[in-house]
Amino acid sequence: MSNALSPAVAHETRWPARLREFVNHAGEARPHITLATDEPGIRGLFRYRPETAQPLVHLSEVLLCGDSTLSRGEREVIAAYVSSLNRCRFCFHTHAAFAAVRVPEGMELIDQIRADLDTAPISAKLKALLAIAGAVQRSGQEVTGDHVNAARAAGATDLEIHDTVLIAAAFCMYNRYVDGLATLACDDPAHYAERAQLSGYVKVWEDELDEAC
């Protein structure tokens, strides 16, 4: 009998301790560099380097909020799923909250997907796209023709497959940006709930930047 943990259980054993106070992935109360504000996660990094923030925000806007045959909720699910696999607390909680207010089943569905994708009550198409996203999280070379064929058989278009790969790749970058500089986050869902109602990323960022100037 194998002693190997199931993927879901193994993932949970690697997830940092659930904390309501703002700390980084190592449990420390300070990021690696001195930021301009005490805003958590990528928000503090955006404020620190607005020149790089602008294209990153625009990329998120196009991928998650732009015109697409995938719903906003489905795209936020992909972002949250990849962030969970990368154990990025800030990005996971942020995009899980954004997804939860845009899918009928709310956070319960996000938790079910995160616990066991194979049995999660979602469409075959979204399940196939999340399998692609999970492969991208491991390595772009992990995406096989079988992944793509399964997504097509479930009704995914080439554009939806393209955008899934790009969302997954982009969130691997965002996750590593956030955790590579040890930014702070908490695990309290209430902290993320209010911002989850926002309709887009660019206007919110530009409004916040104007207020800070």
24: which 2 tokens? 């980084």
With a CB cutoff of 8 Å and minimum separation 6, the contacts of 185 are 22, 23, 24, 40, 41, 89, 90, 93, 178
Predicted confidence pLDDT, tens digits, the chain (213 residues)? 333 334 444 444 466 666 678 899 888 999 999 999 999 999 999 999 999 999 999 999 999 999 999 999 999 999 999 999 999 999 999 999 999 999 989 999 999 999 999 999 999 999 999 999 999 999 999 999 999 999 999 999 999 999 999 999 999 999 999 999 999 999 988 889 888 877 677 766 666 555 544
Nearest of 21, 50, 73 to residue 208 by alpha carbon: 50
User: What is residue 208's predicted lDDT score, i.e. its pLDDT?
Assistant: 58
194: which 2 tokens? 């209010």
Q: How many helices (H) and strands (E) would you count in the chain?
A: 11, 0
Nearest of 70, 30, 12, 53 to residue 208 by alpha carbon: 53
Rounded to two decimals, what is the model's pTM?
Answer: 0.88
